[in-house]
Every structure is written in structure tokens, then in C-alpha cells.
Structure 1
């Protein structure tokens, strides 16, 4: 209660503002007109000004009433939202899901997932953590994440994972590189070029697969610098230190001075896995995993064939 004004006063006021007739408004509340009129009078007394002009023929809102109407509507709307949120909390609908994601291949998944998941569980907060695959695995072990989006890795028995997304590769290079004018590349275009090497902190990534393919087709690039993160690799590329083979989604970073060209590497794809702890999964986490699967499925928002470099 604020200044003696109760919720029922606001509801009665808004109903009368809609009907502009004491009898009809009271009838909608299944109450007699006299006590209804008394409640409106009580509200006006507590506000200190008339909200309606009354005559024997009609009821009209005063200027003060018109101004008060929007505030009353907002108060009741906020109250209804608060009640809904409280009930959701009591029914285990509220809470937090912590999501790990690597910087490349997943940065566009989570924003889409957040919007879709909110339609299902509006009271649940999704908290993203941008971490490498190795850090995500440790965080899952220590119950600091509920789900991780990462590169495939050998998983311990307490975790389970599934590949949810695959995408082709591109070559990142300085925009003033002679190859930057091309529309696409083949493995042969890498001959004699300084190719930088990504060092995975855990697992092997797709680097060994790419190196084997290049060796099989007789391509021998020059050895460029090593890097351990996409951000570091792109900094080296922008500085003209070499070329880097990366997943298509690296182009989302849009670093200035860098061009991204698709490359045919014999069908080699970069994979993203969704990893959770093994064992029973609550409904909220299950629903989130289903949303992410749908986004990454063929025809979904992350369909590689719809990606534009």
C-alpha cells in the first residue's frame, strides 16, 4: 500500500476509466454500485484530486485522471510480471545456465539461442563464458558450466558430447596480400606461402588433418608463426606475418585489414561439439540443448550453406 492506495483501488479506477459508467463497472465486478463508488471516492481522497467529473448524465475523466491512468496501468503490469516471475521461480523455472563457447564457430549460435530459449523459459538467465576447449572441460568438471560449445576432444566418462555443427575452411590473409584479390583458393595456392600453425592447448584440433591433406597432395607451405587463439592468429595475419587456415566463422570477427577466402581442402570441415555432464539432465538444460541443435541443424540459422563470407 502506497499513500493509502491499494491494488484494488487501481483496478477499480481502470475499470471505471474503461466503462465511464459506475453501474456497468460495478456490474463487471459483481458488486453493488454504492460500495464501488465509495472505493473510487476513497482513491480520489487519497490522491487529493478528482479523477472523474460526474454529472447526472455522464462520467468523464479529469485531466488528472487521464495522467494517472498510464501510471496505474504500468503499476499493475509490473505487478503481474513480478507475480509471474515469482511463480516461475517457485516452480523451478528460474535460475541460471552457464554456457561455454569457443570464439570461432559459436559466437553467432548463442545470441540466436538466447532469443529462442527466452520464449520457453523467460525467467532463466543464460550466462556465456568465452573459453578454450580445455578451459571449458575443466569448468564442466568443477561444475562451473552446464554446457560447453567447443572443438571435439577426448572426453572423460563424466562428460558426454555430440557434434552439432560443421563448417568449411577459409584462409585469412592481410588485405594487401597478392592472393587477396582472388575469389577462392585451392591447396596449390599455398605453395611457398608462410602458413601459420595453430597450437591446440588440448586435443589436436583440425591442424593434423589439414597438414596430412596438404602432404598427400604434395603442397609444402613455408612455416609461419604459431598461435594459440583465434584473436592472436588474426593479429598476426593483420600484421602481415603469414596466412592462417580457419573455419568460415572466423570472418564474423571482421578484423580490419584482413581478407577471408574460401579454400577447398578435400572436404575437411571444422566441427563444433556440445558437451554436458553425463547423467540426468533437468528440463531447462534439455530444452536449451534442443534449441541449439535446432539452430545448428540443416536448414537452421547456422546452416553452413547459408553462411556468406
Structure 2
């Protein structure tokens, strides 16, 4: 599959007309038809329903259109940023973060950095810790903020803060009546862990908190995101553990309670390439360190 296949399909999917799509692409209609057919053959599915008029996307075609549009949009962003950098017009920093970072002080810190350095393009990407390690090694981001130190060649991880974990409970849960809750009590409930993939992840950290204290979880349910986990708690499916800052996400169908066991926490890690000596990155990292209480230390 080549990039032109995505561009040809995007044009056809947006017009649902081979003639208009070919005109938009400045090519003849027969080559466009052949390219779409090649794409379908490579994928092994039909993307376009040609039996109706006007043309229609199949379910697979609608999904592929949504995904390919995102890919093409991201490619265009990369092209434009690369051209700006090559022309010396702008400086660029890529920042990766896990979703739970949105509820702490990091967003305000990054916004302050952007306000103080308007000449630097800051690109934010929501990525798991594993995805951040891959993006750092590939040069797609310059710094990542996650909770799992991925052992990958050429990466450094700095501990910014140990953030306490708290329990998320349905409002009608018996456990919600107490001012705090123990891991032993939570382990008897169905514990909702996230993200389910890729691993290792925050889910493994949470499971380990129970295991090392001799109270392994009886039943688990894994999902892919923080918001989904909290939604499942609200529906009475189970309980979950989240970083303390997440309680800023107010909902009237869940309640947050501190953990009575000592030391139940999750690290906030700042990950960079060991070889990166960018002055802009150094400034950003120092700004982040200053925004958290205490000094960062290597892990």
C-alpha cells in the first residue's frame, strides 16, 4: 500500500463519484478505478459498494475512510512542520502524555511554556508509556510524560513525583460509606484495570499494588481508557484505582475515596532521549521540574 492509495481513496470516499474524484485528483478515471481496486485487493475487503447509485461506502470502507483521513492529516502536519524547520522559520518540540496527566498541573505548565516561547511549535500527542518510548526512539516526540518506565535503548526516565492512588466507587457502593478504603476490601470487588493494551502499563502497576500486599485481585475487567473505566464504575460494573488528580473529573454517579494502605502511588515520569541536547527541550524539562514539588531524580 502506498500513500497515493490513501489519497485516491479519500477523494473518492468524500465525493462518492469516480468522475468528480478523478477531476479533483487531476487524473483520468480509469487509473483511479484501478488504484481503488488494487487497494481493495490488498486489504481483502470491499470498500466501495458499486451496486447502488450514488456509490456508497461499505462498513469497512467507512472505517478505512475515517482512519485514512486521520493518517493523511497527520502526514500533512508533519510535512508542513518539516518545511518550517528546514527553512529555519520555527522551532519544534513534540510532547507525549498519558491521559491521566490532563488532570494535574502538567497542562498549565505546558501552556505557560508555550506562552513564554511563542516561537516554538509545541505538538501534543496522547500516547501510552509504551507508545511514548517508541515515539521517542523514532524522533516523533522529544519528551514523554507517563507512569511506566519502559526499558528501551537510549532513553532516560526522570521521576517527577509519586502521585497517590485513590479508589473510584459507585455512589451506592457500601465501600463509599467509609472515609477511606483498603486494598483488601477492593480486591474482593471486580477491579477495572486500564489500559488493556499495550503492556506493560498502568494496569500492571495497579495489579502489583494488590499483589505485593498479599491481597491479589479476585476478578478483573480490562478496558482501554481512563474515561471508560470511570464510566464502568458509574454503571456498577466494578471499582477502579486512579491517580489522585483525576478526582477533579467530577461526576455525580461515582465517588472517590483515599486508600488506607500506605504507599499506594503511581510515579509521574519524564522520559527523554539520552542523546538529546536541545536547549529548548532543556528549558521545557526544567520548567516542568520547577512546577512540581521537589526535585526530579533519575530512576
Superposed displacement of residue 122, structure 1: 2.9
Hey, what does 2:199 align to over in structure 1? 202
Question: What per-residue deviation string (whole Å, max 9, x for no partner) do you get for residues 150-199 of structure 1?
Answer: 12223322211111121111111111222223222223433632223344
Residue 143 of structure 2 is aligned to residue 141 of structure 1: no
Superposed displacement of residue 237, structure 1: 0.7
Residue 168 of structure 2 is aligned to residue 169 of structure 1: no
Decide whether aligned partners of structure 1 residues 138 and 119 sit closer, same or farther in structure 2, where only a CA change above 3 A counts: same
Q: In structure 2, what is the Cα distance between the partners aligned to 1:279 and 1:139?
A: 15
Q: TM-score scaled by structure 1?
A: 0.60
Hey, what does 1:237 align to over in structure 2? 233
Decide whether aligned partners of structure 1 residues 93 and 264 sit closer, same or farther in structure 2, where only a CA change above 3 A counts: farther
Q: In structure 1, what is the Cα distance between the partners aligned to 2:217 and 2:256?
A: 18
CA contact (8 A) 2:95 2:122 kept: yes
CA contact (8 A) 1:105 1:247 kept: no
Decide whether aligned partners of structure 1 residues 122 and 189 sit closer, same or farther in structure 2, where only a CA change above 3 A counts: same
Q: In structure 2, what is the Cα distance between the partners aligned to 1:105 and 1:264?
A: 24
Question: What per-residue deviation string (whole Å, max 9, x for no partner) do you get for residues 102-127 of structure 1?
Answer: 01145433322234324542322322
Decide whether aligned partners of structure 1 residues 200 and 260 sit closer, same or farther in structure 2, where only a CA change above 3 A counts: farther
1:184-263 counterparts in 2 under 5 A? 184-190=180-186, 192-198=188-194, 199=196, 201-205=198-202, 206-215=205-214, 219=215, 221-263=217-259
Structure 2 residue ranges without an equivalent (≥5): 1-84
Decide whether aligned partners of structure 1 residues 252 and 299 sit closer, same or farther in structure 2, where only a CA change above 3 A counts: farther
CA contact (8 A) 2:211 2:217 kept: no
Superposed displacement of residue 299, structure 1: 9.8
Hey, what does 2:60 align to over in structure 1? none
4+ aligned runs moved over 6 Å, structure 1: none
Residue 86 of structure 2 is aligned to residue 102 of structure 1: no
Q: TM-score scaled by structure 2?
A: 0.62
CA contact (8 A) 1:157 1:278 kept: no
CA contact (8 A) 2:157 2:269 kept: yes
CA contact (8 A) 1:101 1:107 kept: no
SS in 1 for 2:148: coil
Larger mean CA deviation between 246-255 and 138-147 belongs to 246-255
CA contact (8 A) 1:99 1:126 kept: yes
Superposed displacement of residue 149, structure 1: 0.2
Q: Pick the aligned partner of 2:277 from 265, 270, 281.
A: 281
Q: Which has the larger radius of gyration?
A: 1
Structure 1 residue ranges without an equivalent (≥5): 1-88, 301-309
Q: In structure 1, what is the Cα distance between the partners aligned to 2:216 and 2:149?
A: 27
